Structure 1
Amino acid sequence: MKILLVGEYSRLHNSLKEGLLTLGHKVYLNGLNDGFKNYPIDFEIKRKWNSGLLRKLKILINKVSGFDISSYLTYLQVKNNLSKFSGFDIVQLINENSFLCQPKHEKKIINLLKNNNKKIFLLSCGDDYSSVKYYFENRNQSSILTPFLEEKVNKKEYSPVLKYLEKDYKNLHDFLFKKIEGVIASDLDYHFPLLNNPKYIGLVPNPINSDKIEFIKNSINNKIIIFLGININTYTKKGIDYFEKALEIIKVKYSQKIEIIITKNIPYADYINHYNNCHILLDQVYAKDQGYNALEAMAKGKVVFTGAGYDFMKHYNLKERVAIHAKDDVEYLVNELSFLIENPNEIIRIQKNARLFIEKEHNYIITASNYLKFWGN
């Protein structure tokens, strides 16, 4: 088959592409990239008028007329390069707003894709109408909405998430769901919001190409190294403030036993190199399941603080921990970190469990085969 994967912001589509290529299919990854992370893209759509004086002018035009020139220029790039987005058996969108356009221009792009390809599918692996609405209505569940619901941030600061509840984006959601064959969830955080949706096909775990990821045996002879990689854009959504507060306590409590590495907004390749030598990686606190960064770190044998609670353990029928379930509770995080620091053998045990889990449940070729089954049905 000839397959087009649209958009990338976590390396999910790159790993899926590698699995599909291994199975003998023609695969292209086109669309928007995710800024500083700089993942490989076969044909990249550039987000224009998005910095400097042009961005300020764009904002002014938008305030006066409601017209977003970046959206219009993105639409033109797809239209003028339509051959790069046409003639495919399968097209999969990374998100309901894959091109980051205003809904009216996003709809025009979706129509171009629908009219020039056989089947379109949607991936739910980030903020979208279904997940935001679900967690807004189920406030007792920890989610990316928790900081907003607890009034830690204002509406303006959380607008990139809350926009999906606006009328225009709800209309875009409805429009898109009429065009697609079905929607696939990448993990449990997006699985539960879609359970009653007739277009929901099912969950396919994130594909991880563990053939390319070496299991790193970092012996614990001297200091235990803890890594925190910060993306400013997701700082609040991931609960990084809880990790920072916990680390301040841990730094004082175990000053002679640990080393802490913190990075901010660095490219993907640099990010990986920075955490290669760590034993413990702090990922996020508001999740049921692991995102892509956490999974790759687990494949390398890191003990990752991420979503790994009851729902996760039950879904995968796990008896032993493969990661540490993180919570928005500083005392809890300090206790979990302290236990690992005082019991280094537990670090070694979880490192091995993590790698085996990735190889079993997130194998990129098996995952690619599952996508093919879902697309075929």
Structure 2
Amino acid sequence: MIKKSVLIYGEYSGYGKSLADGFKQLGYKSEVFSFSGDGFKKINSGITLPEKNKIQRYISIIKLIPTFLKFKNIIIINPEFVSRKNLGFLILSIFKLTRKRIILMACGDDTPFIKYGLENIIPNWPYSDIPLPQKDYFLKEKDIFTNNLIASLAFKIIPVMYDYRVSWEQTKFKNKLTKTIPLACDGELQPIKKTKDKIVIMHGINRIDFKGTKVVKSALNEIEKKYPNDVEIIYPEHLPLTEYLEIMKRVDIAIDQTKGNSYGMNAIYSMFSGHVVLAPANDLFLNDINLQDSPIVKIKNTKESIVNSLSLLIEAKNMLDDKKKASQEYAVNVHSPVKIAEKIEHYLI
């Protein structure tokens, strides 16, 4: 019997590694191809491409093609990973010629997310009040070409959250779009830290404007003044994933982000670690994945929203340990790698 196999092409914040873990639990041969371990996060994701000059990079990718071809299914995390600078046209052509089943994830910034965000179609779009990272961000001709090429070759396009589903629904590829399948996370359940006299509140610093960090810091400054003897605030910044997860062990409350309609991988790792998490997680998000409610404390992109939510938690600190337990149960039920892999498996060969 030929073993089922799937290659995860690209890595974002441990999501690729988590998907591979889920498929392995289902009996698949599964690996992640990561171009750099997702930058400073240094995620150990399996097949990696060392940082080299352009020519060496091309040679390294070409040498890996026989390894890629050992897999029957290819899950591409984002069109960026098959862009021209990554020999995307060559790689996609080979995948198509060798009849690989290609699945594209709608995950992270891409052409539809930027285009339809600018057209005010995505509620609470993170870039609505800040400049884009660069001119014509994901809207250059080469970006649009890459996006359309991979979408045309993909068997299905799977959104990981409401924001990406809405943007891809506006495209000519909407017939390939599946229901939203949430992010997978391979976080390990940690012993729940008993809440002590000082509540430790964390906000990880990463993509400051996109995540709403200025608003979060302003709110936390007020909380420190309001409860000087009751809280400790920490801001881990640009840490490798392993170090970040170690810091999480002393945290009670984590603020993920204030923008968008959902939450990211950091929030899910926090829930596995037993934190009470603050994030948008609004009704658009809940309805999209058929949930009635979640233990995530819902916040908006305002200082007042965060201060009010934290104040309620601090003043009812005897309830925090129960809320931490609810966070862990939710993370296991909604984001466990094997459960997510089972949902994606329907579209594989």
TM-score over 0.5 for the alignment? yes
**Tell me, what secondary structure is at the counterpart of 2:144?**
helix
Deviation at 1:352, TM superposition (A): 2.3
Match status 1:224 vs 2:199: yes
After superposition, what is the alpha-carbon deviation per residue over 1:127-179, rounded to whole angstroms, capped at 9, x for unaligned? 0112122211126721222233xxxx4x5xx128x521222211111122222
The residue identity in structure 1 corresponding to 2:272 is A
Instruction: Find the counterpart in structure 2 of residue 124 from structure 1.
Output: 106
Instruction: Find the counterpart in structure 1 of residue 231 from structure 2.
Output: 258
After superposition, what is the alpha-carbon deviation per residue over 1:272-311, rounded to whole angstroms, capped at 9, x for unaligned? 1112111111111112122111112112221112231121
The residue identity in structure 2 corresponding to 1:80 is K
CA contact (8 A) 2:123 2:261 kept: no
CA contact (8 A) 2:254 2:278 kept: yes
Instruction: Find the counterpart in structure 2 of residue 19 from structure 1.
Output: 22
Instruction: Give structure 2 stretches of 5+ with no counterpart.
Output: none
Greater Cα offset, 110-119 or 168-177: 110-119
2:299 to 320, 326, 351: 326
Instruction: Find the counterpart in structure 2 of residue 278 from structure 1.
Output: 251
Instruction: Find the counterpart in structure 2 of residue 88 from structure 1.
Output: 71
CA contact (8 A) 1:201 1:374 kept: no
Q: CA RMSD in A?
A: 2.2
CA contact (8 A) 1:323 1:350 kept: no
Instruction: Find the counterpart in structure 1 of residue 177 from structure 2.
Output: 200
Instruction: Find the counterpart in structure 2 of residue 337 from structure 1.
Output: 310
Match status 1:28 vs 2:1: no
Alignment of 1:281-360 (within 5 A): 281-316=254-289, 318-360=291-333
Instruction: Find the counterpart in structure 2 of residue 143 from structure 1.
Output: 125
- Separation of aligned partners in 1, 2:288 and 2:10: 28
**Tell me, what secondary structure is at the counterpart of 2:204?**
strand
After superposition, what is the alpha-carbon deviation per residue over 1:200-259, rounded to whole angstroms, capped at 9, x for unaligned? 12321112335xx1243222231111011112xx11111111111111111111110001
Greater Cα offset, 8-17 or 345-354: 345-354
2:62 to 79, 82, 96: 79
Match status 1:5 vs 2:8: yes
Compared with structure 1, are the counterparts of its residues 80 and 177 closer, same or farther at alpha carbon in structure 2 (3 Å cutoff)?
same
- Separation of aligned partners in 2, 1:101 and 1:373: 30
CA contact (8 A) 2:83 2:146 kept: no
**Tell me, what secondary structure is at the counterpart of 1:5?**
strand
**Tell me, what secondary structure is at the counterpart of 2:300?**
coil
Instruction: Find the counterpart in structure 1 of residue 44 from structure 2.
Output: 40
Deviation at 1:101, TM superposition (A): 4.5
Instruction: Find the counterpart in structure 2 of residue 174 from structure 1.
Output: 148
2:157 to 164, 174, 183: 183
CA contact (8 A) 1:227 1:282 kept: yes
Report the count of equivalent residues.
342
Instruction: Find the counterpart in structure 2 of residue 66 from structure 1.
Output: none
**Tell me, what secondary structure is at the counterpart of 1:259?**
strand
Greater Cα offset, 163-172 or 242-251: 163-172
Compared with structure 1, are the counterparts of its residues 21 and 328 closer, same or farther at alpha carbon in structure 2 (3 Å cutoff)?
same
TM-score (norm 2): 0.90
The residue identity in structure 1 corresponding to 2:217 is E
Deviation at 1:114, TM superposition (A): 2.8
CA contact (8 A) 1:297 1:304 kept: yes
The residue identity in structure 2 corresponding to 1:189 is D
- Separation of aligned partners in 2, 1:92 and 1:75: 21
CA contact (8 A) 1:90 1:117 kept: no
**Tell me, what secondary structure is at the counterpart of 2:232?**
strand
The residue identity in structure 1 corresponding to 2:199 is I
Deviation at 1:347, TM superposition (A): 2.6
